[in-house]
Amino acid sequence: MKLGFIGFGNMASAIADGLVSAKALSSEQIYASAKNWEKLCKNTSARGIHACRDTGEVIECSDMLVVAVKPYQVRDVLSPYINQLNGKILVSVAAGMTFECYEEFLPAGVHHISTIPNTPVSICEGIIACEQRHSLTQQEYDVFFNLFSHIGLVQPVETHLLSVAGTVAGCGPAFAAMFLEALSDAGVKHGLPRALSYRLASQMLAGTAKLQLATNAHPGQMKDAVCSPGGTTIVGVSALEKNGFRHAVIDAIDAIENK
């Protein structure tokens, strides 16, 4: 299996890092092209990945192609090479580019699937939301699923849910990082050394998430389990509610979906 990236920005490099870290692929099996040749060479040489001069070279060298350019660039980048795409597995990570978007310009016989990954794929703890509607054969889908399962949860969703699934999974890390930073700032305010405050807050978030995944407990139940009557935690929960914590999170998702 040889994997090619058409575009090699943050998400593409995160996927590549995860696959190599998981030993799903070696760096020698990965190829990439990008508009900025100097930046591409810098990013690929550091990883031992092959840098390709153009999209055509990546296509020629690869069995599976990850389309990782900006959504508005996809058609212009792929159109000159459409005749080279037959027999390739095309995996899109361009937000908003659904199955129908690709069907508008790709010829019959080009098999593709649309996904929205998040950055924790770089440490094999990511989410890859993928559109249920695709044109991969069962064998091709199995190859895709098995490869990307090395770097995270591959979660099929209906087309009308792909955007919000990608928002929750893809934008959520930024919100979680903001909460992590704020919680750490509070710890520092009350005397914790910065590094220790970050470590405690990060482990708390990771542990809480793993607990929910392991038990499938309702988040409200998990909150209640920590809130003793008249205790310290419920006082903090009350302060968050007073300041509109829940509404702020929901409003952030609304703002993205209405963009």
Superfamily assignment of 165-257 in CATH? ProC C-terminal domain-like (1.10.3730.10)
- pLDDT value, residue 259: 82
- pLDDT value, residue 27: 97
Note the pLDDT tens digit of each residue in 146-185. 999 999 999 999 999 999 999 999 999 999 999 999 999 9
pTM of the predicted protein model: 0.91
Superfamily assignment of 3-157 in CATH? NAD(P)-binding Rossmann-like Domain (3.40.50.720)
Q: What is the mean pLDDT of each run of 10 residues along the chain (259 residues)?
A: 97 98 98 95 95 96 97 95 94 95 93 97 97 97 98 97 95 96 98 98 97 96 96 96 96 94
Asked if domains 3-157 and 165-257 share a fold, the reply is no
- pLDDT value, residue 108: 86
**From CA 26, how far away is CA 185, in angstroms rounded?**
40
**From CA 100, how far away is CA 80, in angstroms rounded?**
19
Note the pLDDT tens digit of each residue in 223-256. 999 999 999 999 999 999 999 999 999 999 999 9
**From CA 85, how far away is CA 112, in angstroms rounded?**
10
Could you tell me the residue ranges of all domains in the chain? Answer: 3-157, 165-257
Continuous segment of H or E residues that includes residue 9: none
